[in-house]
Amino acid sequence: MDLSAINPILFIAGFFVAATPLIFAAIGELVVERTGVLNLGVEGMMIIGAICGFATAVETGSPLLGFAAAAVGGAALSLLFAFLTQVMLANQVASGLALTLFGLGFSALLGQSYVGIKPPRMGDVNFGPLADIPVLGPILLSHDIIVYFGLALVVAVWAVLKYTRIGLTLRAVGENHDAAHALGFKVKRIRTLAIMFGGACAGMGGAYISLIRVPQWTEGMTAGIGWIALALVVFASWRPLRVLAGAYLFGGLVQLQLNLQGAGVAIPVEYLAMSPYVITIIVLVFLSRSRSAAPGSLGRIFHASS
Amino acid sequence: MTFTKRAAAKLLLGTALAASMGTSAFADGHAKTKVGFVYVGPIGDGGWTFEHDKGRLAVEKEFGDSVETVFVESVAEGPDSERVMTQMALDGAELIFTTSFGYMDPTINVAKKFPNVKFEHATGYKRADNVSTYSARFYEGRAIQGHIAGSMTKSNIIGYIGSYPIPEVIRGINSAFIHARKVNPDVQFKIVWAYTWFDPAKEADAAKVLIEQGADVVLQHTDSTAPQAAAQEAGNVITFGQASDMGQYAPFPRVSSIIDDWAPYYIARVQAVKDGTWSSTDTWDGIGAGMVGIGEISDAVPADVKEQALALKASLADGSYHAFTGPLNKQDGTAFLADGETADDGTLAGMNFYVEGIEGDIPQ
Amino acid sequence: MIALVKRPEASRAFSLAAPLLAVLATMVFGGLLFMALGKDPFEAITTIFWEPLFGEFAFFYRPQLLIKGAPLVLIAIGLSLGFKAGIWNIGAEGQYIMGALFGAGVGLAFYPIESAFIFPLMVIAGAFGGWIWAMIPAILRVKFGTNEILVSLMLVYVAEQFLASMSLGLLKNPEGFGFPGSRNLQQYASTHNADLIAGSGMHWGVVAAFIAVIFAYVLLARHRLGFAIRVTGDAPRAAAFSGVNPARLVLFCLGMSGLLAGLAGMFEVSGPAGQVTIDFNVGYGFTAIIVAFLGRLHPVGILFAGGLMALTYIGGDIAQSKMGLPAAAIQVFQGMLLFFLLAFDLFTNYRLKFGRTETA
């Protein structure tokens, strides 16, 4: 065993990359759930984003355009979910799962000709001399623009939910859609917009995997990250800043177990490999003492009976 | 009473199967030979299944209209695979390739029901009169990688990403390690097990971790290009393509590759069925027969190392050298192979120990 | 202007017609998809829906429908009890794995003794394995108020690691030349969950699935506990007033769904699958969630939904091999089918009203 092999600075810097797809997907889903809608189709929207982003980046040569396309692709797929749940009043759990199934299949069809291609590379942001600050420089200032965009997005969502009228509206719709309707809010329109926002975020999260973190296109490459993102929203008890903490915790645990393996720690590997999940449960048990309830009408169907 | 009922049902199924086989297998036997492929992943996985499907396409190209190929992708091991194989046999396939270790018992089960259909199971060890097995000696390619890695490393740390601790992977680690040590006695292996067959994000993380911990060569037994990208990012790390050439990362960081090339074998076996000369065999081919391809060694490799690597490749190909040649000890110091002795195929097939010098335990 | 008006009572006619309409719509849109992929849409649709039931080799495919559908129905029945009461077990996949591991573990512990007692013991062990795995989220929720969605999902990944560890370690076949995977239970008479009538597909898991359907039907329709489940789902406060103990309900619903998922895993590993391997689980636990909702959480509905899902899987594989359709196209097709089923369900409880209405 040789723990000195682990470089703490690089180790912590690695959190940012590992957590970014989770942050995007989770913050989008958080907004959706705050309006009272449970969309279990995150995995499907992520993978559609992954292929839309990848294909666009390859065709245009611009990763940024890729991210934009990923957002559009994810939002477009989420519209399907919005139509089912808001117009056709279908069950949200089943619709979300169906969306995942559909997304996985559809992305594979779209991506048939993109296997084995290298996408254009996205450079890191140049902070000039600031990046040379010891410790903080390599940890905080050595990433690509999407990492910072993700962080900004979380802060923005937090601020909007907490301080603005839009946030108030979103929360009102989520807590009690009948009351919100009585107050004159257009419940369905608001929810549809939130669902599209969630889709766009999940799409960008997927594109981060296919364009930066891996980067490659293969079928089913999101490999369950969408499910972790869903869990993260519950973990964060529907609060944006906690999403950040949760994503770093989870991403960090995965990094930690790989690092410990590399350093030859004598814990059986399979137990190391399951540790992120077990520790997440343990942390959750401690957190749940502070009972923070889910949005009041989460998962319930709204229909205005006039 | 129940017994007779059972017997009757069995009989019914038996005759039905036989009848259907009779019509399909023989009626159009002269026109087109139908060949089935059962894949464990999607053909778009860019790795294992992708390469098998290339083999299928090569069969189509070789035989043109005289052969029809069918395939089903992403077939789960267990009852699903058994159903898909049966369905292909019912539909008149005369030869069926089942391309995952987990298809072993299902293949044997279905083969019993269809004695006139030939089966080819990849990487397994159970055979029957109408079931052959085939596999590739990827460890020969690993020996070449180990040689290049050991020669080129400056940090003397070589990272290795494994999927699951199964004999196939352990054999590769041992082979690479033996040949890295041969040229560089100070070399150390850092092994990280992903515990997944397929999770590109995790493979990327594993590669980054190995690089952060000082590895300047990363070997992978996983199929994604994630480690190549991580190495490119780092700038001073070399990698090898796995399953496919991964030439898009050549000449650096990818300096060479191991390529699965099933085409020659598939073509030969289909030909044997057409000629009526097919018989049950156990094939374990390596570089010599062309089943294991070594991708071009790029110019990033020093000329003398490249020359030695090519010489090693030639000696492995013509059989004058075996990748597991003694003297070799097991990790615990007990003797494995005496001086000049080579490992037999049985030991290699079920290899579940590290050779001397590798640190750490194989997860159990 | 078209408006939706809630029906005073769910329409029986539409609850039957909706699935048929959905299948028809899927055929139309799925056909378009197949056409876009350059395949004959009529052939594709008949291959998926007709071939397994009435085609040349239906004698083989019909039993396969039972084999594929049984675990889905068994798990979905258990899940539906909890879902009705607002208790969300989405970790059935993990409970399915643990049931298989416990069942196979007990069976293999006896190897090579032959005895009629071994299989019943395995059934009990399998049920226990699934139950205990579901009790973790249940107890955490009751004791600490921890969200069961998250815990049960996380435990799926833990169970998958256990499965890998067992296939590579404790349960590895000692005569398997070092390869991963356990002994084949099909080749050990006392543990083999064989077809009750050879070639019929009717193994004990199928029997258990039918029993579970009847059990759930009786429970929900007649029993006090079934009443408690329905009330809790519809109106939690009213339930509390009427004396329902929420903690006990959580323990029962999660425990029951875990037990049934564990049984499904045990019957699968000892029968159709035969072996504990790294990739033993194929997603039944997640697909069953869809099946539960497709069946509108009603036992009989779940039975049909499970059959329909099984049909599309089997028909889909046939279409792949016969017509060269990619697996992804089948997945998209299944997704469409679910979309239409969910969408047309609307008309069971609502009707369209045409003409001028005041805006809602």
Q: Are the Cβ atoms of C146 and A304 closer than 8 angstroms? A: no
pLDDT for the residue B1:
32
Mutate which of A87, A95, A97 to test chain C, going by most C C-beta atoms within 10 A?
Answer: A97
Measured CA distances, C308 to A1, A35, C52, C65, C241 (Å): 54, 33, 11, 9, 40
Q: How far apart are CA A221 and CA C139, in angstroms?
A: 34
- Structure tokens belonging to residue B168: 């196939």
What is the percent of chain A where pLDDT is above 90?
Answer: 51
* C311 close to A (CB below 8 A): no
* C25 close to A (CB below 8 A): no
Indicate whether A285 belongs to any domain. Answer: no
Give me the residue from C67, C178, C279 closest to B352, CB to CB. Answer: C178
Q: Are the Cβ atoms of A106 and C332 closer than 8 angstroms? A: yes
The interface residues of chain A toward chain C in range 107-136, judged by CB-CB distance below 8 A, are 107-109, 112
> What's CA B43's distance to the chain center, in Å?
15
B227 CA: distance to closest CA in chain A (Å):
8
Q: Are the Cβ atoms of A108 and C328 closer than 8 angstroms? A: yes
| Closest among A247, A27, A36, A68 to A157, alpha carbons compared | A27
Pick the residue from chain C with its C-alpha nearest to A301.
C346
Element (H, E) at C172: none
Q: Are the Cβ atoms of B198 and A264 closer than 8 angstroms? A: no
Indicate whether C19 belongs to any domain. Answer: no
A285 CA: distance to closest CA in chain C (Å):
6
Q: How far apart are CA C86 and CA C229, in angstroms?
A: 9
Q: What are phi and psi of C91, to 5 degrees?
A: -110, 30
Indicate whether A284 belongs to any domain. Answer: no
What's the rounded mean pLDDT across residues A127-141? Answer: 80
Pick the residue from chain B with its C-alpha nearest to C66.
B79
What is the percent of chain B where pLDDT is above 70?
Answer: 92
What's the rounded mean pLDDT across residues A93-101? Answer: 90
| Closest among B272, B207, B277, B190 to B242, alpha carbons compared | B207
A257 CA: distance to closest CA in chain C (Å):
14
- Residue-averaged pLDDT of chain B: 89
Which chain B residues are within 8 Å of C274, Cβ to Cβ?
A: 78, 105
Sign of CA dihedral A252, A258, A264, A265: positive
pTM of the model: 0.90
Instruction: Give CATH for domain B30-136+262-285.
Output: 3.40.50.2300
Mean pLDDT of successive 10-residue stretches along chain C, which has 360 residues: 77 81 90 93 92 91 94 97 89 96 95 91 97 96 86 92 91 85 90 86 93 94 85 78 84 96 96 92 91 90 94 94 91 91 84 63
Which chain A residues are within 8 Å of B358, Cβ to Cβ?
A: none
Q: Is the pLDDT of residue B134 over 80?
A: yes
Report the DSSP pairing between strands B67-72 and B33-38: parallel
Q: Which stretch of A6-15, A96-105, C40-49, C325-334 has the lowest confidence by average pLDDT?
A: A6-15
Q: Are the Cβ atoms of A216 and B196 closer than 8 angstroms? A: no
Q: Is the pLDDT of residue B9 over 70?
A: no
Q: How many residues does chain C have?
A: 360
Q: Give B6's pLDDT tier (boundaries 50, 70, 90).
A: very low
pLDDT for the residue A16:
86
Give me the residue from C147, C149, C344 closest to A288, CB to CB. Answer: C147
Q: Are the Cβ atoms of B78 and C324 closer than 8 angstroms? A: no
Q: Are the Cβ atoms of A216 and B225 closer than 8 angstroms? A: yes
The domain that holds C299 is classified in CATH as: 1.10.3470
Which chain C residues are within 8 Å of B74, Cβ to Cβ?
A: 327
| Closest among A181, B321, A303 to C3, alpha carbons compared | A303
Indicate whether A254 belongs to any domain. Answer: no
Q: Is the pLDDT of residue B3 over 70?
A: no
* C166 close to A (CB below 8 A): no
Q: Are the Cβ atoms of C274 and B83 closer than 8 angstroms? A: no
Q: Are the Cβ atoms of A209 and B200 closer than 8 angstroms? A: yes
Q: Are the Cβ atoms of B78 and C327 closer than 8 angstroms? A: no
Q: How far apart are CA C161 and CA C182, in angstroms?
A: 16
> What's CA B281's distance to the chain center, in Å?
17
Give me the residue from A218, A221, A262 closest to B209, CB to CB. Answer: A262
* B166 close to C (CB below 8 A): yes
* B101 close to C (CB below 8 A): yes
Q: How far apart are CA B319 and CA C210, in angstroms?
A: 60
Q: DSSP 3-state assignment of B204?
A: helix
Measured CA distances, A175 to A35, A231, C74 (Å): 7, 20, 35
Give me the residue from C146, C327, C357 closest to A288, CB to CB. Answer: C146
Q: Give A305's pLDDT tier (boundaries 50, 70, 90).
A: low
Q: Which stretch of A65-69, A199-203, C77-81, C235-239 has the lowest confidence by average pLDDT?
A: C235-239
Q: Which residue has the higher pLDDT, A13 or A290?
A: A13
Q: Are the Cβ atoms of A84 and C339 closer than 8 angstroms? A: yes
Q: Give A280's pLDDT tier (boundaries 50, 70, 90).
A: confident
* A238 close to C (CB below 8 A): no
Q: Is the pLDDT of residue B21 over 60?
A: no
Give me the residue from A6, A218, A224 closest to B224, CB to CB. Answer: A218
Q: How far apart are CA B231 and CA A279, in angstroms?
A: 31
* C152 close to B (CB below 8 A): no
Mutate which of B74, B213, B219, B244 to test chain A, going by most A C-beta atoms within 10 A?
Answer: B213
What's the rounded mean pLDDT across residues B322-329? Answer: 94
CA angle (C236 as vertex; C235, C237 as ends), nearest 5 = 95
Q: DSSP 3-state assignment of B229?
A: helix
Indicate whether C26 belongs to any domain. Answer: no
Indicate whether C355 belongs to any domain. Answer: no
Which domain does C289 fall in, by range?
40-324
pLDDT for the residue C218:
93
Q: Are the Cβ atoms of B72 and C178 closer than 8 angstroms? A: no
Which chain A residues are within 8 Å of C328, Cβ to Cβ?
A: 104-109, 219
* Total tally of structural domains belonging to chain C: 1
Q: How far apart are CA B278 and CA B274, in angstroms?
A: 8
Q: Is the pLDDT of residue B280 over 90?
A: yes
**Helix C246-270 crosses helix C118-144 at what angle (to 10 degrees)?**
150
**Cβ(C10)–Cβ(C349) below 8 Å:** yes
pLDDT for the residue B29:
46
* A3 close to C (CB below 8 A): no
Pick the residue from chain C with its C-alpha nearest to B86.
C60
pLDDT for the residue B141:
95
- Structure tokens belonging to residue C135: 């009790």
Q: Are the Cβ atoms of C184 and B105 closer than 8 angstroms? A: yes
Q: Is the pLDDT of residue B318 over 90?
A: yes
**Cβ(B113)–Cβ(B85) below 8 Å:** no
Within this chain, domains B30-136+262-285 and B138-260+291-349 share the same CATH topology: yes
Indicate whether C10 belongs to any domain. Answer: no
pLDDT for the residue A265:
81
What's the rounded mean pLDDT across residues A177-183? Answer: 90
3-state per-residue secondary structure call for chain A:
CCHHHCCHHHHHHHHHHHHHHHHHHHHHHHHHHHCCCCCCCHHHHHHHHHHHHHHHHHHHCCHHHHHHHHHHHHHHHHHHHHHHHHHCCCCHHHHHHHHHHHHHHHHHHHCHHHCCCCCCCCCECCCHHHHHCCCHHHHHCCCEHHHHHHHHHHHHHHHHHHHCHHHHHHHHHHHCHHHHHHCCCCHHHHHHHHHHHHHHHHHHHHHHHHHHHCCCCCCCCCCCHHHHHHHHHHHCCCCHHHHHHHHHHHHHHHHHHHHHHHCCCCCCHHHHHHHHHHHHHHHHHHHHHHCCCCCCCCCCCCCCCC
* B212 close to A (CB below 8 A): yes
What does DSSP assign to residue B330?
B
Pick the residue from chain A with its C-alpha nearest to C166.
A270
A200 CA: distance to closest CA in chain B (Å):
20
C234 CA: distance to closest CA in chain B (Å):
39
Q: Which residue has the higher pLDDT, B39 or B21?
A: B39
Strand partners for B67: B33
Indicate whether A250 belongs to any domain. Answer: no
Indicate whether A236 belongs to any domain. Answer: no
Which chain B residues are within 8 Å of C200, Cβ to Cβ?
A: 9
In this prediction the ipTM stands at 0.90
* B46 close to A (CB below 8 A): yes
What's the rounded mean pLDDT across residues A84-88? Answer: 92
What's the rounded mean pLDDT across residues B224-232? Answer: 89
Strand partners for B95: B35, B118
**Cβ(B207)–Cβ(B227) below 8 Å:** yes
Which chain B residues are within 8 Å of A219, Cβ to Cβ?
A: 41-42, 44-45
Q: Are the Cβ atoms of B204 and A214 closer than 8 angstroms? A: yes
Sign of CA dihedral A292, A295, A296, A298: negative
Q: Is the pLDDT of residue B24 over 70?
A: no
Q: What are phi and psi of C113, to 5 degrees?
A: -65, 135
- Residue-averaged pLDDT of chain A: 89
Q: Which stretch of A101-115, B12-26, B122-136, C83-97 has the lowest confidence by average pLDDT?
A: B12-26
Which chain A residues are within 8 Å of B245, Cβ to Cβ?
A: none
pLDDT for the residue C229:
85
* A106 close to C (CB below 8 A): yes
Give me the residue from A11, A116, A223 closest to B201, CB to CB. Answer: A223
> What's CA C215's distance to the chain center, in Å?
16
Q: Are the Cβ atoms of C151 and A89 closer than 8 angstroms? A: no
* C97 close to B (CB below 8 A): no
Side chain identity at residue C297, one-letter code: L
* Total tally of structural domains belonging to chain A: 1
Q: Are the Cβ atoms of A116 and B248 closer than 8 angstroms? A: yes
Indicate whether C301 belongs to any domain. Answer: yes
pLDDT one-digit tens code per residue, A147-162: 999 999 999 999 999 9
Indicate whether C93 belongs to any domain. Answer: yes
The interface residues of chain C toward chain A in range 86-105, judged by CB-CB distance below 8 A, are none
Q: Exposed, middle or buried: residue C224 (CB in 10 Å: 0-12, 13-18, 19+)?
A: exposed
Indicate whether C25 belongs to any domain. Answer: no
Mutate which of B157, B170, B205 to test chain A, going by most A C-beta atoms within 10 A?
Answer: B205
Q: Give A129's pLDDT tier (boundaries 50, 70, 90).
A: confident
- Residues whose CB falls within 8 Å of the CB of residue B273, separated by 6 or more in sequence, listed in order: B33, B35, B94, B95, B118
Alpha helix (H) residue ranges in chain B? 2-21, 27, 48-63, 79-90, 104-113, 138-152, 167-183, 200-212, 226-234, 263-275, 303-317, 345-349
What's the rounded mean pLDDT across residues B190-204? Answer: 88
Q: How far apart are CA B231 and CA B240, in angstroms?
A: 10
Instruction: Give CATH for domain B138-260+291-349.
Output: 3.40.50.2300
* C290 close to A (CB below 8 A): yes
- Structure tokens belonging to residue B328: 């070799």
